[in-house]
Amino acid sequence: MNPSAQPPDWDPRSADVQRGPIRAYDEVAQRCPVAFSDMLQWSVFRHADVMRVLLDPATFSNAVSRHVAVPNGMDPPLHTAYRQVIEPYFSAQRVDAFEPACHAIADVLAQALQGAGEVELMESFALPFAVRAQCAFMGWPQALHAPLVSWLHKSQAATLAQDRPALAALAQEFDGIVEGLLQTRRQAGAAAPHDLTTALMQETVNGAPLSAADITSILRNWTVGEIGTIAAAVGILAQWLAGHGDVQAQLRAHSALVPAAIEEILRLHGPLATNRRVTTCPVELGGRSIAAGDRLTIHWTSANRDGRVFDQPDTFQLDRDQSANLLYGAGIHVCPGAPLARMELRVALQALLAATTQWQAAPGGGAVPAVYPASGFSSLRLRVQ
């Protein structure tokens, strides 16, 4: 299938976009709500257009890659079968049971910041928190923390460069890590640890055991989904609160307000930039004619800053109705990990607030925006008291 040949409406790699991605997307969304670029093909910015894409998987398919991606790269009916296997792993019961371990991880990291003065928050808190939480949730050893951080950095660089050979090598590297974990459990037999990884190895889908490729793909998606978004989200929350000392003080005094504040700050600046779809037939969207086989990119934060849906979209409103917030998506691919993510972010932010009396941007700024497809900050220097 040939994609539409179009003159580009914008350039996602331009210096302007990289300096301030959120503002740049807002500007393109105003001018051209469904915009073509050579890098992404069709970018969808408006809330109504994004909802139309999310709620019509027959027209807007998730089969965007020839590589297996369970369940993100699947359409119904296969997608439905795999979702049924995955969803129980993020039940309220499982998330509640994991919360004390998550607290312990966040507290140790937050307390290390006490009296530290100036810190780089991504490397000293956000990334280690995300990696340690994910490993603890899955039952993985501490020895994996450093390799996973390094893998994430390399994966983001290769995705940005659209370096296919590097991405293929990285996928293999991840598969090797997971294969080691599975092998240990196979060899242990009945003595294998009673953790989520062992449980996943015993699942069936449509009456057949999950294949090794399925398990690896599921674990890759959970791990990349968790580490990338949780680390980015922690950085975004800390940076926004650094510039809003009044809200920081309010949350320190009333920690019950933390969950609502998280949803609203991440509506203003989402930790996940985009997801993709491919059309199965010709379609009109936002006044543009899109051919069958064209690629679409959903821009989550732009949809969440759409003034047609959110009153004064650029302002922080703690009591805002969040029912239209697309932070975790909508429709059949809505984030299954959302209950875990919400708990982890609440615990991380409460630990940071409890271990400190105040933080602000380090002198001279200190926030370096991450480069697409990453979101949030690649570096965040804060003065912590």
> Does residue 13 interact with ligand HEM by CB under 6 A?
no
> Does residue 226 interact with ligand HEM by CB under 6 A?
yes
Residues in CB range of 316: below 8 A, 6 or more apart: 240, 244, 247, 264, 265, 268
Rounded (10°) angle between helices 338-355 and 212-242: 40
Select the span of 2-10, 94-102, 326-334, 377-385 touching ligand HEM (CB under 6 A).
326-334
Measured distance CA(102)–CA(224) in Å, rounded: 18
Binder among 21, 33, 225, 235 for ligand HEM (CB under 6 A): 225
The answer to whether 130 and 231 have CB atoms below 8 angstroms apart is yes
Nearest Cα neighbor of 170 from 92, 269, 67 is 67
Measured distance CA(334)–CA(329) in Å, rounded: 5
Residue closer to ligand HEM by CB (options 337, 362) is 337
> Does residue 238 interact with ligand HEM by CB under 6 A?
no
> Does residue 259 interact with ligand HEM by CB under 6 A?
no
Q: How far is the CB of 73 from ligand HEM (least distance, A)?
A: 8
The answer to whether 285 and 52 have CB atoms below 8 angstroms apart is yes
> Does residue 275 interact with ligand HEM by CB under 6 A?
yes
Chain mean position to CA 195: 24
Binder among 236, 340, 352, 367 for ligand HEM (CB under 6 A): 340
Binder among 59, 72, 322, 360 for ligand HEM (CB under 6 A): 72
Q: Is 40 left (phi over 0), alpha (psi -120 to 50) or beta?
A: alpha
Q: In this structure, what DSSP letter does residue 39 have?
A: T
> Does residue 356 interact with ligand HEM by CB under 6 A?
no
> Does residue 252 interact with ligand HEM by CB under 6 A?
no
Measured distance CA(293)–CA(50) in Å, rounded: 18
CA angle 112, 115, 117 (to 5 degrees): 105
> Does residue 296 interact with ligand HEM by CB under 6 A?
no
Select the span of 43-51, 139-147, 288-296, 329-337 touching ligand HEM (CB under 6 A).
329-337
> Does residue 327 interact with ligand HEM by CB under 6 A?
yes
> Does residue 341 interact with ligand HEM by CB under 6 A?
yes
> Does residue 140 interact with ligand HEM by CB under 6 A?
no
Q: How far is the CB of 349 from ligand HEM (least distance, A)?
A: 12
The answer to whether 29 and 299 have CB atoms below 8 angstroms apart is yes
> Does residue 295 interact with ligand HEM by CB under 6 A?
no
Amino acid residing at 354: A
> Does residue 234 interact with ligand HEM by CB under 6 A?
no
Which residue spans within the chain are E strands per DSSP?
Answer: 34-37, 41-44, 60-61, 117-120, 204-205, 208-209, 274-279, 283-285, 288-290, 295-299, 359-361, 367-369, 377-384
Select the span of 168-176, 184-192, 203-211, 270-278 touching ligand HEM (CB under 6 A).
270-278
Select the span of 144-152, 278-286, 332-340, 353-361 touching ligand HEM (CB under 6 A).
332-340
Residues near ligand HEM (CB under 6 A) are: 71-72, 83, 221-222, 225-226, 229-230, 233, 271-272, 275, 300, 327-329, 333, 335-337, 340-341
